[in-house]
A and B are shown apart, each in its own frame.
Chain A
Amino acid sequence: MKRIGVFICHCGVNIKDTVDVEALSEFFMSRDDIVHAEDYMFLCSDPGQKIIKKAIAEHKLDGVVVASCSPTLHESTFQNAIEEAGLNKFQMEVANIREQCSWVHNDKPAGTRKASLIIGASIEKLKLNESLEPTSAPLTRRAMVIGGGIAGIQTALDIADAGYEVVMVEKKPSIGGHMIQLSETFPTLDCSQCILTPKMVQLAKHPNITLHVNSEVKDISGFVGNFKVTVERKAQYVDPDLCNICSDCSTVCPVLVPSEYDEGLGWRRAIYIPFPQAIPASFTLDIDNCLGLSPIACGKCAEKCEANAINYDASPTTFEVEVGAVVVATGYDLYPVENIAEYGYGKYPDVVTSLQFERILSATGPTGGVVRRPSDGAEPKEVVFIQCCGSRDPEHHLSYCSKICCMYSLKHAKLYKHKVHDGQPYIFYIDIRAGGKRYEEFVQQAISEENVLYTRGKVARIFNEGDKMVVFGMDTLTGKKVEIRADMVVLAMAVVPSYGSDELAKTLKAGTDKHGFFNEAHPKLRPVESLQAGLFLAGACQSPKDIPDAVSQASGTAAKVMVLLSSDRILHSPIIATVDDDLCSGCGICIGTCPYGAREMDLLTRVALVNDILCEGCGACIAACPSGAAQQHNLTDDQIANMIRVIALGDE
């Protein structure tokens, strides 16, 4: 039998006022199964800990119950103390007699009775506690970042700068994400490409970073510290190492395709460079639009390429990467504009999305940065910007706020005004949300100095009359109908998780919310980790974010990844499930119960094993086990039963 000592803290008067600590220590001292009991004013203090350590040595204790405040506060303090005295830290139990007893009761006899039950139950648990060590496994000190937008780039650079290898996987032919499409950024109006491209180049040249574009994650196996990720790479028809971006190939390509980079407002060829600063700096062949790879069908580009960079025989490749951590940075896309039919997108060429307007404003855009409307190339004199297109509309579209639209719509209005001095921007809004550093000042300056006209209300319908767009809405402040005859309309489309990220979430077994945004482990305290150990989040894949937020989170994520990679072994709490091989009937109920895929059937022995690293110790499989084969270390069914008996017996 264990030699157990009970230590009862007065916590000054915090416990002592409602619990008769002296009577309790006398009572436990008198019990046959308790070797030693004493009470002290502040057990967490240095002298308090010394008392415990001394008693362990003097009375040869091999288990300790400390009755004090909540374990959240001082469990680790007392664990350290008994470890210093030579005991395993799991041979200590905290009996919470302050938060859950003395502070919530007034009656001292009743409080004392309850405290004795709490301590009694803790003693029963302690009696069957095993000495445990954290489990550990070797770790691959390499990270994967999925998505090469600003969040992914920042995460990859930070991790790589710390000396760890990073593998970046990007679906598109170039990294840069949506940020590379933007004209200027709020609230400073600095050029988006000017601040992003140096980072892209840095990433491409970084000795610790391997970049795979045109690639997607297809499968993942393993667990935190030791993932095996299967990546599929599209056929690489143009060798980026040989391509010298002379653009001879695209000059002879007979195919025109709407440019993704210009959001369909401009054209590209079937062999093209996504944008001038693309990384990798190489042309790429869009096989879906190419006339044919054989020289009979077309083959003009290969004929023209002096560098011999074009190889028609290339085929898709699949490869496996071993990493210790995976960062999801898949960003966002815009809510499908077709879903808001009343705004006439598609029907009227001068109704454009916010990203299209970014391209119209951008110096690298289809109009070279001159504001021209798509229908006839005329300079629009009146432009209506409509916010919350799809956002904050739970009845018809999405319930959440897309967060960035208030600021970028205003930015659009300002930039437009800077280019068309006699133009008039109007903004329809529900609320102006400008909660960010220097954001409110940005709004106020636009209203007072740039003559941006705000109308609070929603637009009901847009129709055309001659060469004008009639924007028909309601001013909810005056209650009057509003009709603006505009030359152009810009829709601030809601931000949604990037298309395809739902598939990725399934592949990675990562949780998402009902809108498809990846779930963080805790909204406040673990905002960059997912619940899946070893899987991290950065940027707008978690929720709509502007650039400052995405970059901050990316650096935070990188720090968390670096913590994980900083050791060559990974430690894991031993308070997990365990299986008695003899009792396990191999029914497999536990396997379906486990949210982490930590239970696995050994097909040879028909025993449902526990993966020590994956198991988080929730205990769901243990409660589900019909044969009692599954148990939790230090919270076995026997321990729970014995605690119940103490409570059920009461003070009888």
Chain B
Amino acid sequence: MKEFEPKIVCFLCQWCTYAGADLAGTSRLKYPPNGVVIKTLCSSRIDPQHILLAFTEGCDGVFIGGCHPGDCHYQTGNYKTQRRIMLLKTTLEQLGIRPDRLRLEWISASEGRKFAETMKEFTAHIQELGPLPKANLTEE
């Protein structure tokens, strides 16, 4: 049987994590091809509804990358993101979606290696969890 290939959407802020992902590329670091990137100016642009939409449309995992605390290009955007994601995780649980299908990481423009490692690890984790069951099915 073909191995399960998770579908992952990655929201990356353009100042830190998107640049970190570019650095992983210029450093030729390899990671699984499951995550596809949507670039935002700041991680705080990401509405929890986008994440819920990703899950309902068939994504198995959602990754969000922002600047380290204190480094946000927009002063405090990443703190807002963190608060929203923490709240959303409790909601996900209530909806029957495992909160660890959603991951928020601070990855700076100089952390190409961290981006590649995080992608490897997160993809493997979602692979382990298996596909997100379709609507009305609660995960174990």
Contacts and interface: CB of A to CB of B under 8 A. Distances in A.
A103 B54 contact: no
A529 interface: no
Interface in B2-32: 5, 7, 9, 19, 21-22, 24-26, 28-32
B45 interface: yes
Contacts of B80: 593, 620, 623-624
Scoring A71, A99, A100, A511 by chain B CB atoms within 10 A of each residue's CB, the highest score goes to A100
Contacts, number: 125
B45 A623 contact: yes
B6 to A, nearest CB: 10
A637 interface: yes
Contacts of A511: 75
Contact of B59 (A111, A118, A617, A647): A647
Contacts of B136: none
Interface in A569-592: 575
Contacts of B46: 623
A117 B26 contact: no
A113 B32 CA distance: 12
A107 to B, nearest CB: 7
A118 B37 contact: yes
Contacts of B94: none
B67 to A, nearest CB: 11
A640 B77 CA distance: 18
Report the interface size class on chain A.
35 or more
Task: Determine which residue in A107, A643, A645 has the highest number of CB atoms from chain B within 10 A of its CB, and name it.
Answer: A643
A641 interface: yes
A648 interface: yes
A103 B26 contact: yes
A618 B21 contact: no
A649 B36 contact: no
Contacts of B47: 622-623, 637, 640
B58 interface: yes
A191 interface: no
B84 interface: yes
B22 A647 contact: no
B interface: dominant SS: mixed
Contacts of B29: 104
Chain B interface: which size bin?
35 or more
A106 interface: yes
A442 B24 CA distance: 44
B50 interface: yes
Interface in A625-643: 632, 635, 637, 640-641, 643
A99 B37 CA distance: 11
Given A644-B54, A649-B57, A114 B77 contact: no
Contacts of B30: 104-106
Nearest to B42: A618
A304 B30 CA distance: 85
A306 B81 CA distance: 68
B21 A617 contact: no
Contact of A100 (B37, B50, B54): B37
A110 interface: yes
B38 A644 contact: yes
A113 B34 CA distance: 10
B99 to A, nearest CB: 19
Contact of B74 (A99, A595, A632): A595
A9 B33 CA distance: 19
A121 interface: yes
A616 interface: yes
Interface of B: 5, 7, 9, 19, 21-22, 24-26, 28-33, 36-42, 44-50, 53-54, 57-59, 73-77, 80, 84, 116
23 contacts: A72-B19, A72-B22, A98-B25, A99-B22, A103-B25, A103-B28, A104-B29, A110-B33, A121-B38, A531-B75, A618-B44, A620-B42, A620-B74, A635-B40, A635-B45, A640-B50, A644-B53, A645-B57, A647-B38, A648-B54, A648-B57, A648-B58, A649-B57
* 3 tightest A-B CB contacts, nearest first: A619-B45, A99-B25, A648-B57
Given A617-B41, A619-B45, A644-B54, 12 more contacts: A70-B25, A71-B39, A105-B32, A121-B38, A531-B74, A618-B44, A619-B42, A623-B80, A637-B47, A647-B36, A648-B58, A650-B5
